[in-house]
Structure 1
Amino acid sequence: MVGQTLTSVAIIGGGPGGLGTAIALSQLPFLEVTLYEKHSESREAGAGISLSSNAWKVLDLLGASKGVKGGSKSNTHQRNAYTGKILSVVEHPENSAVDQRGAIRARRTRLQQALLAEVPKDIIKYSKKLVHLDDLSDRGVRLTFEDKTEVLADIVVGADGIHSAVRRSLFPEHKLRFTGNTAFRVLVPKSRLNSLPEITSTTAWWWGKAGHVYFSDVDDETENNNPLFEITIRSYHEPEIPGKTVGWGIPAANEKVASRVTEFDRRVRDAVDTVEEGQWWEFAGFAGPRLDHITAWDKVALIGDASHPLSGAFGSGATFAMEDGWILARALELTHFTGRPLSDALEIFSQIRSPYYNRMYEHLDKVQEKLQKVQSESTNFDEFLETKIDSFLYDDKDFIYKNDISKVWDAYLEANEV
């Protein structure tokens, strides 16, 4: 690239989406990529993360799949949280047919580490919390950080999650709301639950009226002699406390967590009681209206939760963000080698990904309408649960979990005769 001017790209956010984007973009020799992470080191909050065929496809493209191991979700039960009655068992044969690695639940840190290993070491800048962006027209974008430093970039990628500072700069009128849905998450040694074989033998959702509990392996036991096990409690009607309701990760006391499952089956309560004080983390759920645009200023793109604040509705947000980053890289590559402007690359990115997210919103609208109708007409909780589980499991979501992002790109090229 001697004698040529590189296009500078600033990625905001060092989660899976930002790291995946950094991998994809740093492979393009005409780009100079820098990732800005607000924390002082690379870290991933939460407990487990679900990965299906769509995740394996994009991780393969990024060269990071080999570093990701987890617990199989090949045997998933849906239960009534009060009685323990099994309402549904899913073997997930569709995943093994598409990809032999199947559907897994992995530690979020495993995914983070696998991606981080593929990112060029010198491109990540830590302790850089973005405060604001300014459009400088043909001079690019000015980024201002909390430490008062400023940088210029030709392209900015907002991979900074549901509370995106990039999105706030682009669309200050867009407001998030607390959904009332809060998750309490923990990873515990599976050995601590040895007395509860019905809890540890399957991946399971125990559904209640005001919340549910999720149990799952997060380790491949063939490679880990001391595997961890995930417990996530979701409470649907938490009150908002001004100044204290936060978006992502504060410690939660055992007493607070246990109070959310006092009416649940004894086995659930016993599992919750195995957690040592100080281990639970609380994550408040936020969501926002769908965005009309996921790009702005002809040089800024939003990816992942920054572009579609769905509050984790499909449990595949990290995969969505990695797919976004890979498509953005392909669009920039195409426009560079065909002599087109950067703005065309962002338009291609939007043309491919915006309809995909709109389809998710439409799906959620239909499911919500169905559940409200059943809830108003049904007097039997199991009947309502069965409808909820049917929508949760069996409504057509192949467009999500079987998505092959490389084929999506090939289809775009074919449709546009490129």
Structure 2
Amino acid sequence: MVGQTRTSVAIIGGGPGGLGTAISLSELPFLEVTLYEKHSESREAGAGLSLSSNAWRVLDLLGASRGGSKAAPNPTLINGQNAYTGKVLSVVEHPENSAVDQRGAIRARRTRLQQALLARVPEGIIKYSKKLVHLDDLPDEGVRLTFADGTEVRADIVVGADGIHSAVRKSLFPDHKLRFTGNTAFRVLVPKSRLISLPEITSTTAWWWGKAGHVYFSDVDDEIENSDPLFEITVRSYHEPEIPGKTVGWGIPAANEKGRVPRQGMEFDQRVRDAVDAVEEGEWWEFAGFAGPRLDHITGWGKVALIGDASHPLSGAFGSGATFAMEDGWILARALELTQFTGRPLSDALEIFSQIRSPYYTRMYNHLDEVEEKLQQVHAQNTDFDGFLKSKIDSFLYGDKDFIYKNDISKVWDAYLEGNEPQE
């Protein structure tokens, strides 16, 4: 590349999607890649995350699949339980398990994946304390990025990997608005030794379902590799009030003031309440749920691409958000590589990216619509609570989700090259 000007790429956001994209793009010698992260250091908010066959495949491509080491062993069976009585309504094989990959589905600390990806990002690419404020389209000159510290840079391509509250999306589509869903999750990782008196809680991966919320329990560490493994507790409320000026954050410390965190479980089975009470003051993290209308486009200006939650603003659905974003970044890299090789403009690469990934997200939205319709039908039948929960659990766990958990992103790309549809 001596004497040639490389194409500059600015990635916004240093989560798994941004890091995965940085790895994929930095392998292309005609690109000059910079990742801008708003925090002063690398951080990953949350507790655990799921890695399934689709995740292993893209992590293999990124050279970061060892990030699953020391994670919880494959949760072969999961329980669905009545949160008030503890009655087990469903014991099923985890829907993310796959005979295609012996590694199956695991639950791991989010920080493990973050560190595995960071280790693969070339030195000097990440710029910290760079909070994006706005983008401006510069005709024939790329994009101007303005940061909160007053600095500006120019890039030929911008990748918005900045999550549900994406500043990149706001610049591209200023009329697109998010709304608070009322769905709020309180997450924490606690030493499993603290729950030693609750073997029925710690021995299974389980959802305890209530009328206005649920509690999720899962290992996130391999007990063989960790002397005092951590255990995940997530308390989710479906009807939290919106508090102006406060209900804007994602992954903020949540104090236990006046029982705010555990109140969803005050009427739940005593074992659930005991587990929640084992969490100490200041350990909870609060995640307010936001969602927005489906985007008609996941690219803009012929030089900006949205990936991960920035492109499909949902408040969680399939437990594969990090994988979706890493798949996006890998496909974008392949599209840029193809257009560079064939001498086509950058805008063609973004169009290829959209042609492959937009239908995938459309299919995901359609699946959620089908599940919601089914639940409404069950609810209208005046089924007793256990019957309703059983239908909800079945809808949550079953259905055709192979297109998610068994997705092979490299085969998707091969299908595109062969002129086939990217998804079956």
SS in 2 for 1:346: helix
SS in 1 for 2:41: coil
Shift of 1:349: 0.1
1:141-290 to 2 correspondence within 5 Å?
Answer: 141-254=143-256, 255-290=259-294
Shift of 1:205: 0.3
- Contact 1:247–1:285, Cα closer than 8 Å, also in 2: no
Q: TM-score, normalised by structure 1?
A: 0.98
Shift of 1:96: 4.3
- Partners of 1:195 and 1:91 lie apart in 2 by 26
- Contact 2:161–2:306, Cα closer than 8 Å, also in 1: yes
Query: Could you tell which deviates more after superposition, 324-333 or 214-223?
Result: 214-223
Partner of 2:308: 304
Shift of 1:241: 1.1
SS in 2 for 1:301: strand
Shift of 1:138: 0.7
Instruction: For 1:376, give the aligned amino acid.
Output: A
SS in 1 for 2:260: helix
Any stretches of 5+ residues in structure 1 without a counterpart?
A: none
2:93 to 91, 96, 99: 91
Shift of 1:94: 6.9
SS in 1 for 2:32: strand
Residues 72-96 of structure 1: CA deviation (Å, up to 9, x unaligned): 3212111110111111112338724
Q: Please tell me whether residue 38 in structure 1 is matched to residue 38 in structure 2.
A: yes
- Partners of 2:95 and 2:137 lie apart in 1 by 49
- Contact 1:247–1:286, Cα closer than 8 Å, also in 2: no
Instruction: For 1:383, give the aligned amino acid.
Output: G
Q: TM-score, normalised by structure 2?
A: 0.97
Shift of 1:99: 0.9
Identity of aligned residues (%): 85
CA shift in 2, pair 1:93/1:371, >3 Å: closer
Residues 366-394 of structure 1: CA deviation (Å, up to 9, x unaligned): 11111112112224001111111111011
- Partners of 1:15 and 1:158 lie apart in 2 by 11
- Partners of 2:102 and 2:226 lie apart in 1 by 20
Partner of 1:295: 299
| Equivalences, count | 417
Query: Could you tell which deviates more after superposition, 324-333 or 218-227?
Result: 218-227
SS in 1 for 2:351: helix
Partner of 1:331: 335
- Contact 2:191–2:231, Cα closer than 8 Å, also in 1: yes
Shift of 1:223: 1.2
CA shift in 2, pair 1:207/1:62, >3 Å: same
- Partners of 2:348 and 2:156 lie apart in 1 by 14
- Contact 1:246–1:283, Cα closer than 8 Å, also in 2: no
SS in 1 for 2:176: coil
Instruction: For 1:17, give the aligned amino acid.
Output: G
Residues 14-53 of structure 1: CA deviation (Å, up to 9, x unaligned): 0000000000000000000000000000000011101111
Q: Which runs of 4+ in 1 moved over 3 A?
A: none
Residues 42-74 of structure 1: CA deviation (Å, up to 9, x unaligned): 000011101111000000000001132311321
Residues 334-357 of structure 1: CA deviation (Å, up to 9, x unaligned): 000011110110000000000000
Q: CA RMSD in A?
A: 1.2
Partner of 2:8: 8
Instruction: For 1:223, give the aligned amino acid.
Output: E
